[in-house]
Amino acid sequence: MSDTLVKVRDLKIGATVYPPGEKPHDIEIVHGVSFDLAAGKVLGLIGESGAGKSTIGLAAMAYGRGGVRITGGEVWVNGRDILKSGLGDVRKLRGGEVTYVSQSAAASFNPAKKIMEQVTEAAIVQGKFGRKEAEDRARELFAKLGLPDPDNIGERYPHQVSGGQLQRCMTALALCPEPDLVVFDEPTTALDVTTQIDVLKAIKEAIKDTGVAALYITHDLAVVAQVSDDIMVLRMGDTVEYGSVDQIINNPQEDYTKALVSVRSIEHEEKAPTAEPVLSVKNITARYKGTKFDVLHDVSVDLYPGQTLAVVGESGSGKSTLARVITGLLPPREGEISFAGRKLSPDLDGRSLEDLRELQMIYQMADVAMNPRQTVGTIIGRPLEFYFGMRGAEKRKRILELLEEIELGPEFLDRYPAELSGGQKQRVCIARSLAAKPKLIICDEVTSALDPLVADGILKLLLDLQKIEDVAYLFITHDLATVKAISDNIAVMYQGKVQRYGGKTEVLTPPFDDYTDLLLSSVPEMKLGWLEEVIAHRKMESAGN
């Protein structure tokens, strides 16, 4: 076992929690996890939020985030148990033998310092290299990771490079001190799909070239399948299944793993356009106040009653701006919007109460879209009072009906948002928008912050409600799997323009334009060797480069 770099035995991790209305107490969040990692190999840790995967990754550096403490077990790195080492030894390990790549490079780089200084800092502090050598090595890594102008990019500040570039700089930061192990914590999750591919490829090649071992943490099984040798599936702090990547993907044993591996279960037949669209957006051009660039150019789309139009695009494509124009928050420079057969005022102030009621919105972050000091009953009841003047027993009856529609029981009436899970919060937001009996609901990335299985439940609910309430959805998302699951019509947006627009089948059937092809082919697929295939067939560069 001389080539075993990391040996983790019965690792237990705990934290102190402060639940509202209760005394603080300790809970265990990882219950005895064991694995081995040989030098130069990659182990994927996969699971939904709360599975303990990041916590385990950080334990490999003897680090606990916030109030998290390692309470038991052994973590052997390079032949010594780092949980028994003193703080001085642990500091030598961190940034020297083991380094870390976080999910958000934008937040993990110090905004006040140049990239080069931060990339080389660990190597210099740990005494691995002198400044000159470290900088040479950093430039070499910048080039290896495919960053533009590798000789000078280090002289820039973090805000001066794009998100995808910064994520690669973070990888360079982790590789610069020639570590034995790198912990990658969701390194591509915050990126657009087309950018994710480039970063993924850069990381994979860098791991191969430098011979470093890696713990690769993610919730996306299709991504981890591209880079790992072994995979460990975690759930609520327990190991569900641990095996080679081939076995987990092609022959999963546990039901939970099978659920993760299986593709989305939602089937939705595309509906044909009916006579009159409920929403008609015509030739909209818009820009933000005080800027000189249009973020939307001549955008026209139609949405029919009781149907779903998916607006899909990457960050910066203008899809959320379109939602702001439709809701009246950003009056357009040109073009007009018809809604339910009447012309909508471009400005929010000019809209009637009826306009407001019939056009509702659901947001990405359900927890900040609700007042934390109001109960679920108050939150759902507010539109009933405001639009219909309901009071007392009548209001209560309607709230309970709405709760039933979102598959939550009457016991939720008096709960506060903080007592709900992420999926339940989003359900309450859906009920609040339905309470107004709208004709159209704008759904802005409503499943992006949720775990895949929970997101699936929300999408199913939305489809069922559409049948009952005959409501139309304008569904804004960057996730193509979601689009395939629920839409009737699709508008692909790219740099403020509608790149491709039509029925679902038509849009998703070749021949494609170059951008739609890039976007569709960039969605990770659950098969080995997919990454290499895609890279070989690309026709254009992603916008994030």
Residue type, 128: K
Of 49 and 104, nearer to other proteins (C-beta) is 104
Say how far apart CA 69 and CA 62 lie, in whole Å: 9
Query: Does residue 63 bind other proteins (CB under 8 A)?
Result: yes
Q: Is 520 left (phi over 0), alpha (psi -120 to 50) or beta?
A: alpha
Q: How far is CA 296 from CA 303, 317, 347, 424, in A?
A: 18, 8, 17, 34
User: In the 8-state DSSP scheme, what is residue 152?
Assistant: T
What's the closest the beta carbon of residue 130 comes to other proteins, in angstroms?
Answer: 17
CA angle centred on 96, ends 92 and 97, rounded to 5°: 100
Query: Closest Cα to residue 323, out of 435, 516, 515, 332?
Result: 332
Which stretch in 36-44, 78-86, 157-165, 501-509 sits in contact with other proteins by CB under 8 A?
157-165
Of 125 and 329, nearer to other proteins (C-beta) is 125
Which stretch in 41-49, 110-118, 244-252, 535-543 sits in contact with other proteins by CB under 8 A?
110-118
Query: Does residue 300 bind other proteins (CB under 8 A)?
Result: no
Of 179 and 524, nearer to other proteins (C-beta) is 179
Which stretch in 112-120, 143-151, 292-300, 318-326 sits in contact with other proteins by CB under 8 A?
112-120
Query: Does residue 93 bind other proteins (CB under 8 A)?
Result: yes
Query: Does residue 530 bind other proteins (CB under 8 A)?
Result: no
Question: CA torsion, points 42, 203, 217, 186, in degrees to nearest 10?
Answer: 180
What's the closest the beta carbon of residue 122 comes to other proteins, in angstroms?
Answer: 4
Query: Does residue 122 bind other proteins (CB under 8 A)?
Result: yes
What's the closest the beta carbon of residue 204 comes to other proteins, in angstroms?
Answer: 22
Judged by CB under 8 A, the residue of 21, 111, 341, 392 near other proteins is 111
Q: How far is CA 398 from CA 390, 410, 411, 441, in A?
A: 9, 11, 15, 19
Query: Does residue 54 bind other proteins (CB under 8 A)?
Result: no
Judged by CB under 8 A, the residue of 99, 188, 194, 360 near other proteins is 99
Judged by CB under 8 A, the residue of 65, 132, 289, 467 near other proteins is 65
Query: Closest Cα to residue 50, out of 375, 478, 415, 453?
Result: 453
Taking CB under 8 A as the criterion, which residues in 238-277 touch other proteins?
none
CB 230 within 8 A of CB 41: yes
The HSE-up count of residue 335 (CA atoms within 13 Å, CB side) is 23
Of 52 and 95, nearer to other proteins (C-beta) is 95
Query: Does residue 194 bind other proteins (CB under 8 A)?
Result: no
Judged by CB under 8 A, the residue of 44, 47, 73, 95 near other proteins is 95
User: In the 8-state DSSP scheme, what is residue 495?
Assistant: T
Taking CB under 8 A as the criterion, which residues in 195-224 touch other proteins?
none
Of 5 and 310, nearer to other proteins (C-beta) is 5
Which stretch in 59-67, 350-358, 391-399, 411-419 sits in contact with other proteins by CB under 8 A?
59-67
Taking CB under 8 A as the criterion, which residues in 159-188 touch other proteins?
159-160, 173
Query: Does residue 126 bind other proteins (CB under 8 A)?
Result: yes
Which stretch in 2-10, 58-66, 260-268, 491-499 sits in contact with other proteins by CB under 8 A?
58-66
| Residues with Cβ within 8 Å of residue 486, at least 6 apart in sequence | 266, 268, 308, 310, 459, 462, 463, 473, 475
What residue has token string 């990547």? 245
Say how far apart CA 307 and CA 376 lie, in whole Å: 28
Cα 329 → chain centroid: 25
CB 514 within 8 A of CB 481: no
Query: Does residue 107 bind other proteins (CB under 8 A)?
Result: yes
User: In the 8-state DSSP scheme, what is residue 445?
Assistant: S
Judged by CB under 8 A, the residue of 14, 73, 96, 313 near other proteins is 96
Of 20 and 111, nearer to other proteins (C-beta) is 111
Of 69 and 92, nearer to other proteins (C-beta) is 92
CA angle centred on 483, ends 481 and 484, rounded to 5°: 65
Q: Which residues bind other proteins (CB under 8 A)?
A: 61, 63, 65, 90-96, 99-100, 102, 104, 107-113, 118, 121-122, 125-126, 156-157, 159-160, 173
